[in-house]
Amino acid sequence: MLTTLIRRELLDNLMTFRFAAAVFITLLLVVTNTAVLIKDYERRLAGYNAAVKMHQRQLQETNTYSAGEVYVDRPPNPLSIFNVGFDKRPGNEVKVAHGYVPSLWDADRHGSDNPFMNIFTSMDIVFIFEVVLSLLALIFAYDVLAGEHERGTLRLVLTNPVRRGHILLAKYISAMLCLLVPLLMSLLLAVILLTNSAAISLNTHDFLRIGGIIFASVAYLSVFYFIGMLISAAMRRTSTALMLSMFVWGFLVLVYPNVTLAVIRRLEAPQPRTASAFNQIEQIWEEFDRARKHFLATDAFPGEDWGLELRGGGSRHAYLWNTPRTLLYTYESVIDFETLGEEDEPKIPHAQHHFRFLGRLVTDTADRTWLIRKPALEDIFVKPAKVERAWLKLSPIGLYDAATQAWAGTDMLGTRDFFDAVRQYRRQVITYLYDKDVFGSREWFSADKGAPDWGSFPQFSFQRVDTHINAKRALPDVSLLLMINGVLFIIIFLIFVKSEV
Amino acid sequence: MWHIAKRELYDNLNSLRFALAIVLLIGLMLTNAVVHLHEHPKRIQAYNDGVTEYQNHLMASADESLYRLAQKGPGDLYKKPSALRFCAEGSETDLPRQAIGGTFRWSTDRLESAWILAYPPVDTSLGNLRPDVTLVDWSFIIGYVLSLIALLFTFDSISGERERGTLRLILANAIPRHTVLIGKFLGALISLNIPFTLAILMNLLVISTSSDVHLNAEAWGRLGIIFCIALLYTCLFLALGLLVSARVQRSAVSLVILLLVWVSLVVFMPGTLAAIAGDSASPKATHGFYERSWQLHNELRDQYGSRWRQARGDSRKRIEVDGAYVSKDAEQQEQLQEARLKQQISQVNRARATTRLSPVTIFQHLFESFAGTGFERHLQFLENVKVYAREYREFVVDTDKADIESLHIIGVREGMSEKPVSPEAVPTFEDTLNFSKDFNTAAIDLLLLALFFLLLLSGAYLAFVRVEV
């Protein structure tokens, strides 16, 4: 009986104009946007490759260790085509130095990016689904019960010995099958376009992640279908149901996300927290400066100067600098001598001793300030963002967005994974510097007796997390979506069973 | 005709969609007003702080010497926030709030770099982890929500009558078809405008009664123009609704078509077109900007090496070479900055021109130009900055010329006048909004929008004339 019902509903739906329109519009939007997104990705990848090459070349050209600027670049995520999330926004190049612990807020943008282009909204496939699929689901659902009621066909169906639950189920299954056609077809075309692009190589894990995105999309689609069905069950007339559906759609998709954030958003970060943390950090660095000066005042060449009066040819600078907004405070000292004079020779052991001391002191101070900076950054930047995301999750769109971001690895955690890797790399670099006694070497400040060995310097590598971690991160949101589905179905069932024909 | 419009109006007033539209629009407009009242004083405060800082910086330099003025430059120049930002946010959060007139670039034991104009990218967006949303401004409420509501008001105005069979009754009377169409159009326009005007009035009431935001006569004039643009824009969508409704037999089909057209036109077209147009420009020349900057600087230093060697011993000649070096370096670096900015702007302009195919973008551009926000406004600000920079440089040169003891070599301490500079004489920067220029850029947009509307309305007329009842 159920199959008969499904077949009837399916045939009803397939032959409609709205089905054809749904397929057409989804395919059109997804295919054009995927083509554009792939080009965008390729451009970003080219920018990344150029940046990596440039940074490597610059490092090789540096004559001394202290002048060497080690940059780490963040590659674009190919799955950002599905949900761009945080892939574009945080900076994509970050300097690794012993003088500070790098975080997301210290990253900069590749030189090839145009910051003005941010004024345009960027599309991704999930955004298209968010808007179009929900609309289509409501268009398919608004007359599913109210229509039959109006035409009086419901009465005819119920004269047969069928359970009301079966009717609902048949309607749901057949409509979902119809809606899956545009969804799957457009995704299939998108994936074909993706695999055809030379720049993008997807592995098995990526296909699993895309599978996760598809599953979340189906759950999302089904939520909106149920919402439409609920309205249709509660309203007696199709025109009322349609109006109400459209307003509910407008509210959930357009109004809710924007209004909530407008209301709860505060323009500035909490000032007192920033100021107090910054003061603490500043004090630590002042302490550092005292220790540094004390060392200089008591060593074999007493004086205030950091350069130990070396008279080499080249450039040198050293200063404390800070950015209060991101709580960044660091000491930078670069001594880049190409030649050293005869009279400098006896001072060199002392200079080495000094820089060995200074290197360790700077590293330790940076590590100590990180203990304060990390929780403060968390409070100032991450917490409000998390609160806002939690508010957005009150609407199915927010849940769907969060779930697909988690699957694509472009969510907040996925992006922060990269910066965790950068911090780990910094530790690696520091261990290397200690092991080779680079701080105390002549190459730290002078190139007169040979250049630094950049070849054996540790290399940075970053792997996106495994699929099961993506799955774990997506799980709460996907299960919430499924729960909403369940609750909605139960409500619709109760209304439908109680309703008089 | 008025009879039809009146009938249409009464029909609409009693409907569910009218009630929902009223609730939605008033809710949105009140949110907009409350948010603006909350945010605007902060923006003004930030601007005033910036201006005070700039003035202090300028005074400090002027107190020191003319050389300091020539070397350090005027400092950060801030963009004045518009009081009408609640009408159109104009992605102001993604645009820089200031231009930099002079940062430290390099120094040697004898020389310091001269100031240049630099254009920093917006500083807050990189570390911002907050979700990205369209802010609820008028242009969002009208561009997205009101246009959708306009379609919901008209999708069944003809096809619905035909379905119910009442169209035949109307046309049985001796009324020309175009009168019927215009009547329906006016009826829908008026019934849509009741909630809309109500919402706007409430919004303005809240904003104008607050003491934090002052709207002057010019701002009210701008608001009037903005309201007219909003009317034109809604007319566009009403005409679209009538067109589809006249062509299609059933109202359900009409709605599906309208919604899908709306989604593509309003939601997707702007972003997709911008991405397509922005993509075509490869910003290769901007790559490695800092590297290029250092390279230029080093090349120049090497180039001047021999001239310095020649000038050794002759202090007058050395100062001349120094002056030439410093000003040449500043000129080169500023040209580099300008070139990059120009390239970025041309990419954005290309993208913006392409997005004009979508009426919602035209409408947003119009709103932005009359509200004094957005990209055009930013360009105007940059223009103001450049004019001021020229003025400032001229001031330094003229003041120096007035002192006959000076060697008139700008950018070198020994080569410049050492007389005290009166701080009041230094030109100060104030950002202004130029209305006539706004109107020029807006005129084409306005024309395009009107053209779209006439096209759709005549389309609706043609479709309706050929309808068989």
Side-chain half-sphere CA neighbours of A174 within 13 A: 24
The residue-averaged pLDDT of A414-418 equals 91
**pLDDT at res. A219:** 96
Alpha-carbon distance of B9 to A293, in angstroms, equals: 83
pLDDT band per the 50, 70, 90 thresholds, residue A115: confident
What are the boundaries of each domain within chain A? 2-38+123-266+476-498, 42-120+272-465
The residue-averaged pLDDT of A183-204 equals 90
Query: Which of A24-28, A328-332, A442-446, B47-51 has the least mean pLDDT?
Result: A442-446
Contact A66, A334 (CB under 8 A): yes
B436 touches chain A (CB under 8 A): no
Q: Which helix (DSSP H) or strand (DSSP E) does residue A263 occupy?
A: helix A256-264
The residue-averaged pLDDT of A64-73 equals 90
Nearest to B315 by CA among B412, B404, B411: B412
Side-chain half-sphere CA neighbours of B193 within 13 A: 15
The residue-averaged pLDDT of B357-366 equals 89
**pLDDT at res. A111:** 63
What are the boundaries of each domain within chain B? 1-123+132-287+355-469
Set of chain B residues whose Cβ sits within 8 Å of the Cβ of A246: 148, 152, 259
ipTM: 0.85
Q: How many residues does chain B have?
A: 469
Contact A87, A77 (CB under 8 A): yes
**pLDDT at res. B35:** 86
For helices A164-196 and A204-234, give the axis angle rounded to 10 degrees.
150
Tell me whether residues A389 and B17 touch, CB distance under 8 A: no
The residue-averaged pLDDT of A143-149 equals 86
Interface of B with A in 124-183 (CB under 8 A): 125-136, 140, 144-145, 148-149, 152, 156
A102 vs B467, residue with greater confidence: A102
The residue-averaged pLDDT of A262-290 equals 80
Q: Residue A394: is its pLDDT beyond 50?
A: yes
Query: Under DSSP, is residue B169 helix (H, G, I), strand (E, B) or coil?
Result: helix
The residue-averaged pLDDT of B432-438 equals 71
pLDDT, one tens digit per residue, over B206-220 is 998 887 778 888 889
Burial class (CB in 10 A: 0-12, 13-18, 19+), B286: buried
Query: For residue A71, which phi and psi values (nearest 5 degrees)?
Result: -110, 145
* Shortest Cα–Cα distance, B400 to chain A (Å): 33
A491 vs A450, residue with greater confidence: A491
Which residue among B28, B251, B274 sits closest to A120, beta carbon to beta carbon? B274
Tell me whether residues B272 and A123 touch, CB distance under 8 A: yes
Report the residue of chain A nearest B17, measured CA to CA: A243
pLDDT, one tens digit per residue, over A216-255 is 999 999 999 999 999 999 888 888 898 899 999 999 988 8
B121 touches chain A (CB under 8 A): yes
**pLDDT at res. B285:** 46
Which residue among B136, B149, B274 sits closest to A262, beta carbon to beta carbon? B136
Enumerate the H helices of A197-330 as residue ranges. 204-234, 238-249, 256-264, 271-298
pLDDT, one tens digit per residue, over B101-114 is 887 788 887 888 88
DSSP tag of B72: H
Which residue among B31, B260, B344 sits closest to A114, beta carbon to beta carbon? B344
Cα B251 to Cα B130, B176, B235, distances in angstroms: 41, 23, 20
Cα A148 to Cα A174, A366, B256, distances in angstroms: 15, 71, 19
Count of other CB atoms within 10 angstroms of residue A309: 12
Contact A119, B349 (CB under 8 A): no
**pLDDT at res. B283:** 52
Alpha-carbon distance of A360 to A367, in angstroms, equals: 11
Name, in order, each residue with C-beta under 8 angstroms of B452's C-beta and a sequence gap of 6 or more: B236, B359, B362
**pLDDT at res. A486:** 96
pLDDT band per the 50, 70, 90 thresholds, residue B279: low
pLDDT, one tens digit per residue, over B242-272 is 999 998 888 888 988 999 899 988 888 888 8
**pLDDT at res. B123:** 64
State what percent of residues in chain B have pLDDT above 70.
96
Query: Under DSSP, is residue A391 helix (H, G, I), strand (E, B) or coil?
Result: helix
Average pLDDT for chain B: 86
Set of chain A residues whose Cβ sits within 8 Å of the Cβ of B267: 131
Give residue A93's identity as a one-letter amino acid code.
E
Query: Under DSSP, is residue A313 helix (H, G, I), strand (E, B) or coil?
Result: strand
**pLDDT at res. B112:** 87
Alpha-carbon distance of A175 to A484, in angstroms, equals: 18
